[in-house]
Structure 1
Amino acid sequence: MHGSAVFLIEFGAIILGLGLLGRLAGRLKFSPIPLYLLAGLAFGEGGLLPLVASEEFVAIGAEIGVILLLLMLGLEYTASDLVSNLRTQYPAGLVDAGLNALPGAAMALLLGWGPVAAVVLAGVTWISSSGVIAKVMGDLGRLGNRETPVILSILVLEDLAMAVYLPIVTALLAGVSLAAGSVTLAIALGVAGLVLFLAVRHGRLISRFVSSDDPEKLLLVVLGLTLLVAGIAQQLQVSAAVGAFLVGIALSGEVAEGAHNLLSPLRDLFAAVFFVFFGLHTDPASIPPVLLPALALAVVTAGTKIATGYWAARRAGISAKGRWRAGGTLVARGEFSIVIAGLAVTAGIEPSLGPLATAYVLILVIAGPLAARYTEPVATRLTARLRQRAAAASPATAAADAQAAGQSGGQAGGPADGQSDGHGETVSEGARP
């Protein structure tokens, strides 16, 4: 009884605190995610008042939060939208991998950590946080923007790439044979392909199976199906987030609309728990020793993510403002990066890799929502100022050119004021500098 009472007190305090922080963020007109993370730091390992009794429940709630975020993201789009976007945006996925994985690998090699650690840190810097980005786009009301399909295509390509990357990293860390690693990789790819095939080809049948006029039954069936598919996908070395996203893609029409309305409050609750959980498992004392390399890596890869989104949106014909919004939205790293770093820490590859990855993700998971909100207006203002400077400089340049031309004409015996230049044009006094 005493343990359950402590659990209720702790968890109730967490939820109440999240509600108050959400109100504060609403008044300040920015995403509450950074506040949730800082709250987790304050009450986590090495924080002001560590929470113990509710830790296991918060961990489960965090997993559900990521799953619901991706499910709700999938409900916004149809299977045909997904396939067409993947076909047109796969070059953006290649650019994304090249620009954002290489800095992580280079940092690990510069620190002398070896090739295996380089592969791990490359994954940490490559993958954006689907959970954070989904929450930010919802908070900013951008789910219907023209650049959103481009962002989603990059996120889905990253998540599908994880079906290949994670088995490879696991095999490298475990030192297993090439044959065993190939079997794991084949299983992961097969499961991801099967779920995608069912979502695209049989989405209508799934929608009919789920459909119900009773909101209670619809909620239970959709939530149960999503958790089941996510769990099976994760058990077979595929991201649970990918499974949840594809379930959302498979549902369409009235079913998708009804599920969206019913699950929105649950998504908001468990998404907030996810961000708190991330902070709870970060020891503030482990951050200062690796803060400088983590900060340098964060600055570089924030720039490469912005470049990736800008390039992909430009390729899709999006306006300049939409390009900057796409780039800024992709900056945040989160759940996948922590999972990848956790594999390396468990394997004992490099003791400093875990704290570096945690500090890096913490910086970008806080900066990510701010970048999503302010990249476009800041870029627009800078562009306008550069244009104003160019416009201010152009009259002086034109005057100098005209003066040079006048001097050249005078030396060559050019026409005098009011006389013809030989081509039917008259040079007037006002035309001279």
Structure 2
Amino acid sequence: MHSSAVFLIEFGAILLVLGLLGRLAARLSFSPIPLYLLAGLAFGEGGLLPLGASEEFVAIGAEIGVVLLLLMLGLEYTAGDLVSQLKTQYPAGLLDAALNALPGAAMALLLGWGPIAAVVLAGITWISSSGVIAKVLGDLGRLGNRETPVILSILVLEDLSMAVYLPVVTALLAGTGLAAGSVTLAVALGVAGLVLLVAVRYGRHLSRFVSSDDPEKLLLVVLGLTLLVAGVAQQLQVSAAVGAFLVGIALSGEVAEGAHHLLAPLRDLFAAVFFVFFGLHTDPAAIPPVLLPALALAVVTTLTKIATGYWAARRAGIRAQGRWRAGGTLVARGEFSIVIAGLAVTSGIDSDLGPLATAYVLILVVLGPLTARWTEPVALRLTGRRGSRTVSAAPESESGTPVAGAEPGVRDPDTVGRP
């Protein structure tokens, strides 16, 4: 009875603190992820108020948080979108992987952590935060800009790559041999391909089967199906996150929209718990020793992400202003990096990997919105291109409305409607 009361007090305190931190982040107009991570550090081992009775429940909530994060991400895309992006934007995706994964792998090897840690850290530095970037695009009024489809294409390819990457990492961390790892990868690729095929050809039938006019029934069916598939995927060592992502892709139309609306509050709740849980397993005292490598990685991968976005936008025919905006917007890291690091931390691969990932994400989740806003004007000033821009009204989106957050007195040809 006493432990039950302690659990309610501890978990209630966590949720209350998270709610207040979320409100603070919204007031300051930036992502709450760094605040959630800091809260986890405060509640974890070596922190100010270590947890006791509620830690096991928080761990279960964290697993549900990862599943819901990936489900909601899958609901954003259709199978047709993914196939189209693969055909047209795969060169940008390959460049993105090469430029941004290699620094992480190199850093792990330089630190003497071994090849498995190199694969893990490569993923952490590779994947941008879709959630943070989507919010930044909305806040800056850039959803109608010409470079925005390029940005979204890169994010789609990164997210789809996770369907292959996560099973590989899971197999490596589990210590399976080459043969078992190859089987796991083959199963993951086969399942992903089958789901895409079913979604393209029979997606409407599947959505009709899941659909319900009653929000309660729709919520129960979608959530139950997602957890069931995620559990089966985890049992097959394919990764629960990948299973949830594929369920999201398979659902489309009104069902996807309804499920997105119903699940958004649950996703936000359990995602916050997930970030706290990751912080719980990171000793704050372990961060200072890895702060310098984390800062070096942040600087290098900021430049490589900007280069990736610039090249991809140039390939799409976007002018200089839009190229710099695309690069600066891609800098933020967040949920996926923590998911990958969380897998490594729970497997006990290296005690310094968790603190390094925490410091790295904290730096870039704060820096990302700043680079999205300031990369263009700073780059154009440094390259002497600002004088070539025509003085006029504020930049406009493709719909002709002024772009929020844009500099007054400057008109950007990449933000107006296509000729």
User: What is the TM-score normalised by the length of structure 1?
Assistant: 0.77
Structure index of larger Rg: 1
TM-superposed deviation, 1:237: 3.1
Q: Could you tell me the percent identity over the aligned residues?
A: 82
2:14 is aligned with 1:14? yes
How far did residue 46 of structure 1 move? Answer: 0.7
Secondary structure of 1:52's counterpart equals coil
Q: 1:109·1:115 contact (CA, 8 Å) conserved in 2?
A: yes
**Which stretch shifts more, 20-29 or 209-218?**
20-29
Q: CA deviation at 1:126?
A: 2.7
Give 2:286's aligned residue: 286
1:366 aligns with 2:342: no
The answer as to 2:206 corresponding to 1:206 is yes
CA distance in 2, matches of 1:199, 1:117: 35
Structure 1 residue 57: deviation in Å? Answer: 1.8
Partner of 2:51: 51
What amino acid sits opposite 1:65 in the alignment? G
1:407 alignment partner in structure 2:
none
Shift of 1:329: 4.4
Superimposed CA distance per residue, residues 30-66 of structure 1 (whole angstroms, 9 cap, x where no aligned partner): 2222211111111112100011222122222222223
Structure 1, unpaired ranges of 5+: 393-433
Question: What does residue 30 of structure 1 align with?
Answer: 30
Change (3 A) 1:132 1:358: farther
Bigger shift: residues 42-51 or 233-242: 233-242
Q: Tell me if the contact between 1:297 and 1:360 (Cα under 8 Å) persists in the aligned partners.
A: no
Over 3 Å counting, the alpha-carbon distance change for 1:326 and 1:135 in structure 2 is: same
Q: How does 1:324-403 map to 2 (within 5 A)?
A: 324-334=324-334, 337=337, 353-355=350-352, 357-386=353-382, 391=387
* Correspondences of 1:142-181 after superposition (within 5 Å): 149-166=149-166, 168=168, 177-181=177-181
Q: In 2, distance between residues paired with 1:141 and 1:391?
A: 24
* 1: CA distance, partners of 2:40 / 2:5: 21
Cα separation, partners in 2 of 1:145 and 1:72, compared to 1, 3 Å: farther
How far 1:276 sits from its partner (Å)? 1.6
2:234 aligns to what? 234
Provide the alpha-carbon RMSD of the alignment: 3.3
Do the aligned partners of residues 175 and 51 (structure 1) sit closer, same or farther apart at CA in structure 2, a change above 3 Å counting?
closer
Distance 1:211 1:63 in 2: 26
Q: Answer yes or no: is the 8 Å Cα contact 1:70–1:244 preserved in 2.
A: yes
Cα contact 1:298–1:363 (8 A) shared by 2: no
Q: How many residues align?
A: 388
Conserved? CA contact 2:298–2:363, under 8 Å:
no
Post-superposition Cα deviations, 1:317-372, rounded to whole Å, max 9, x if no partner, equal 456565445434443445655565566667776xxx441x3233223322333333
Contact preservation (8 Å) 1:108, 1:117: yes
Change (3 A) 1:311 1:70: farther
Query: What's the CA shift for 1:81?
Result: 1.7
The one-letter code of the counterpart of 1:18 is: L
Q: Output the CA distance in 1 between the equivalents of 2:330 and 2:108.
A: 23
Q: 1:101 to 1:18 in 2, by over 3 A?
A: same
With the length of structure 2 as denominator, give the TM-score of the two structures: 0.80
- DSSP-derived class of the 2:44 partner: coil
Pair 1:24–1:358, CA change in 2 (3 A): same
Whether contact under 8 Å (2:341, 2:357) holds in the other structure is: no
- Say if 2:342 and 2:354, in contact at 8 Å, map to a contact too: no
SS at match of 1:56: helix
Structure 2 Cα separation of the partners of residues 383 and 178 of structure 1? 46
Identify the range of structure 1 (380-389 vs 367-376) with the bigger mean alpha-carbon deviation: 380-389
Structure 1 residue 145: Cα displacement: 6.5
Q: Is the 8 A contact 2:66 2:339 kept in 1?
A: no
CA contact 1:188–1:236 (8 Å) conserved in 2: no
Does the aligned pair in 2 maintain the 1:230–1:243 contact within 8 Å?
Answer: yes
- 1:20-169 to 2 correspondences below 5 Å: 20-129=20-129, 149-166=149-166, 168=168
In structure 2, C-alpha distance between the alignment counterparts of 1:390 and 1:330, rounded to whole Å: 22
Quote the Cα distance in structure 1 between the aligned partners of 2:382 and 2:212: 57
The answer to whether structure 1 residue 3 and structure 2 residue 35 are counterparts is no
Conservation of the 8 A alpha-carbon contact between 2:294 and 2:360: no
Paired with 1:343 and 1:24, the residues of 2 have a C-alpha distance of 29
Do 1:78 and 1:252's aligned partners in 2 also have CA atoms closer than 8 Å?
yes
- Partner of 1:202, secondary structure, is helix
Distance in 2 (CA, whole Å) between partners of 1:233 and 1:144 is: 37
Q: What amino acid maps onto 1:121 in structure 2? A: L
Distance 1:14 1:73 in 2: 26
Distance 1:97 1:65, change over 3 A: same
Aligned counterparts of 1:168 and 1:110: Cα–Cα separation in 2: 22
Aligned pair in 2 of structure 1 residues 319, 282: CA closer, same or farther (>3 Å)? farther
C-alpha distance in structure 2 between counterparts of 1:343 and 1:72, whole Å = 20
Question: Cα distance, 1:391 vs. partner?
Answer: 4.8
Letter in 1 for 2:372: E
- Residue 306 of structure 2: aligned partner: 306
Give the counterpart letter for 1:373 in structure 2: P
Cα deviations by residue, 1:380-425 (Å, 9 ceiling, x for unpaired): 3214534768759xxxxxxxxxxxxxxxxxxxxxxxxxxxxxxxxx
Task: String of CA shifts for 1:242-278, please: whole Å, max 9, x gaps.
Answer: 3323322332222222222222221221222222222
- Aligned residue for 1:50, secondary structure, equals coil
Q: What secondary structure does 1:270 align onto?
A: helix
| 8 Å contact from structure 2 (residues 71, 246) kept in 1 | yes
Secondary structure of the corresponding residue to residue 37 of structure 2: helix
Between the aligned partners of 2:131 and 2:53, the Cα distance in structure 1 is 26
Describe the SS at the equivalent of 1:70: helix
CA contact (8 A) 1:162 1:239 kept: no
Query: Which is further off, 148-157 or 1-10?
Result: 148-157
